[in-house]
Chain A
Amino acid sequence: MAERIDVTGEWQRISMRYASVESISTVIWWLIAGVGATVPIWLVNDGDMPWWGWLPLIAAILLIVIGVTFSFLRTRTIGYLQRDDDLLVRRGMLFRRFVAVPYGRMQVVDITQGPIERMFGLKTLKFVTAAATSAVTIPGMPGDTAEQLRDHLVAVSESRRAGL
């Protein structure tokens, strides 16, 4: 297989704990879906489970395994790179996406933290530019790095504010 696209540089990886965050939400999601599909089958058959009744649950468990594996693989690929004039964010292994946002173009920098992220002490950084399509997020920022990066970005983009 051929070389895939890549951008070389001092990439900052996000915390691998983010893979656990993603795994947990994957597990919860697919368990709900699997159980939600299995229980009605059980009820419809008056408590007598046919062999194929377990298929949704098995499928859900398979998907959980795949999802967890991929979330670990994907987390390894998420990263950001602060360059002189722009911030570069990458994510995805199979579906690779690199986004470059010039510092002067950042309109809003958000930090969010969901309940599972809070358990692992991670935060998500989100940049908004004037273009709706360039939604850039960096999940899994440990500890204070999210705040530090935000303050840095705000300071840099203040000095390079460029309107729209």
Chain B
Amino acid sequence: MTEPGYPQQPQQAPPPAPQRPDARAKAAELVDGEWHQLHPATPLLRGGLSLIIFAGVLFSIFRDRLIGLFVPDEFGSEWEQDAFGDFVVDQLLWVALGVIGLVLVLVALFWVGWRVHRFRITGDAVEVQQGIFVKKHRRAPLARIQGINIQKPWFARLFGACKFEIQQAGNDSNVDLNYLSTSVADALRYEILNRASGRSTADSQRLAAERQQAAGGVVNEFLHPDAEISNVAPDSLVRIPVGRIVASSLLDGWIVWAVLYVVGTLVVIFGFQQWWAVFAILPAAIAFFAAGMRSLGAKLRYSIAATPDGIRLAYGLASTTTEILPPGRIFALQVKQPLLWRPFGWWQVTFTRAGKMSSDGSGSGGQNQQMANYLLPVGDLRDVRTVIGLVLPELAQSSLIDQGVLGQAPDDFVVSPPRARAFRWFSVRRNGFHVHPAAFLLRHGRIWRSMHLVPGARVQSVAMQQGPIYGMARLARVQFHVPGSVLSPSIGALDQQDAATLFEHATRTVKVAIDTDASESWASSLSRNAVLETAPAVQDGLMPPPPQPQEQAASAAPPSAPQQPESAQWQPPADRWQPPPADRWQPPREQQQQPPQRVQQQPPQPEQQQPPSFGQRPPRDES
């Protein structure tokens, strides 16, 4: 979209990089609705490892004997009693035949498995067929794609293959195309996303042309495993210096615990002369080291960028993963700060998704499981704002983020009343919430600071709770229910009036957000208005245009719409916000259309003394 006048015949364009149009043509071939086979190295990659392990076990069993073959004199006596080994040597022919036969059968099975493992991509679904004895046929609608990630384990990269995983909501509902050829995987992902987004052919061709032009020269599989995408989108919006990654990993909560554990055990060993404790320290130290190296390896090449199809995350050093999360597939965010990061001003952003990234069983599963929840492994406040801006553009330049992560009481957040100090000893002036048209912001903790952001359109249900002790203190808790088990946003120790108003308002906001949400086929909802191409953010109502008629009309809404006071406050910074380069996606939520008609129906809390103009409320008196 950066060059509107670019000619629209990308496939026939004279190739600056010969393999680009190739890949796209191949990908176009793959999405023709016919059945296709996976990468020919698939059986080797799926089953080859077990063969290698098998050979390794065999070797380790007969290691002494093999050595003995070459150094017969010195080791001769040691394997005299090895009955199994003797038997093998005696019956060498039969054993060899048996092993070869077993290998042949396995290879044949893997080969047949590869033959019957097929996939096809039709207009609205991806289908996979597999299984020799037990047939499995899975069909996943494109409109419900939660994300597509391409994993390249290092051993698969040797074969030019990669894993292709289409995430669907649910526990075990992903569609895996393991393995695909690396050269087509990226292009195939774009084809699928094009279809899922409902983008017009002209649009998708133009995007492909841009990608092709941007990719420019040689694609080096090893240096730039995600070359195609990293070139189309602006480079990573967040740069994490290596030193920061290392330091943050070292200061991360559990690594500190690991060090404490090791130190404690060392004290036991040397201080109390308990030598047996060595056995407690070694495996743990090895495990900690391995885990630390793995997470470090994953974070070292972390990058995040905006593409027309959503957020692109890439990470991994030897085994890489690139993932595209279409708009509206992030259900909640959490910004938090481990205590030891505080002097450095570092933050971490995690998110929750509806699907679950399946572990690949190759040892890098842990890395993926862990990274699968990070939107930002470590970064300063500016990075946090950038990342949040990708998910919730409305909040990108808002002062609410700063207030949410750092601020306390007299600000735009509604905080716990002073009498809640018994429940929130230090954070009583911080523990609070704010309702923005796009999202609910919940902030917690003064020592362990954190903030939840829940996009309104993604909330599944809302709960308000009050136990007997909270009841005596007239406090309550409000919970937002989102898919996934990573985050469970809730805010406790609220004044019960505030909680009731938040609950009441949340149910209304969620309804409006759902109605205006169109992330299911994100591009078609954008391309409905052709003018969007020029200034998508403003046209879509995401960025407030210089005069704000809707906003002022909305601010006349009755008191129970608590986001109104603050809208006047966060507007000025939002004005300075320049719409980003047009090729970043915009979740098409039209948040200004608040439902003023419903607000009048019931004054939610008649006994409330002052209208809940949440923004300016001073700290409540203890009563």
Contact = CB atoms under 8 A, between A and B. Distances in A.
A94 interface: yes
Nearest to A163: B520
B467 A131 contact: no
B481 A96 contact: no
B503 A130 contact: no
Interface stretch (A27-35, A39-47, A56-64, A98-106): A98-106
Select the residue from A95, A96, A101, A164 with max chain B CB neighbours within 10 A.
Answer: A164
A134 B496 CA distance: 21
A2 B468 CA distance: 11
A84 B598 contact: yes
Contact of B517 (A83, A130, A162): A162
B463 interface: yes
7 contacts: A4-B471, A100-B461, A100-B462, A102-B514, A129-B481, A130-B460, A131-B483
B467 A98 contact: no
A27 to B, nearest CB: 25
Interface string A44-88: 000000000000000000000000000000000000000111101
A119 interface: no
Contacts of B488: 133
How many residues of B sit at the interface, in one of the four size bands?
A: 35 or more
Interface stretch (B30-38, B307-315, B472-480, B543-551): B472-480
Contacts of B496: 3-5
Q: Which 8 A-B pairs have the closest CB atoms?
A: A134-B481, A131-B481, A134-B461, A131-B460, A85-B511, A129-B460, A101-B461, A100-B507
B500 A5 contact: yes
Given A5-B500, A100-B463, A102-B511, 5 more contacts: A3-B607, A85-B511, A98-B464, A163-B143, A164-B354
Given A95-B466, A162-B514, A130 B507 contact: no
B458 A97 contact: no
Interface of A: 1-8, 83-86, 88, 94-102, 104-105, 129-134, 136, 160, 162-164
B510 A94 contact: no
B475 to A, nearest CB: 9
A6 to B, nearest CB: 8
A4 B460 CA distance: 25
A143 B515 CA distance: 34
Contacts of A130: 169, 354, 460, 483
Contacts of A136: 461
B301 interface: no
B324 interface: no
B482 interface: yes
B12 interface: no
A119 to B, nearest CB: 32
A132 B485 contact: yes
A7 B519 CA distance: 32
Contacts of A102: 461, 507, 510-511, 514
Contacts of B118: none
Contacts of A86: 507, 510-511
B507 A85 contact: yes
A101 B460 CA distance: 7
A94 B467 CA distance: 6
B424 interface: no
B46 interface: no
Contacts of A96: 464-467, 471
Given A84-B598, A86-B507, A5 B499 contact: yes
B503 A105 contact: no
B234 to A, nearest CB: 29
Given A102-B507, A131-B483, A163-B144, A97 B461 contact: no
Nearest to B332: A131
Interface string B518-541: 011000000000000000000000
**Highest count of chain B CB atoms <10 Å: which of A129, A130, A131:** A131
- Most chain-B CB neighbours within 10 Å: which of A6, A99, A104? A99
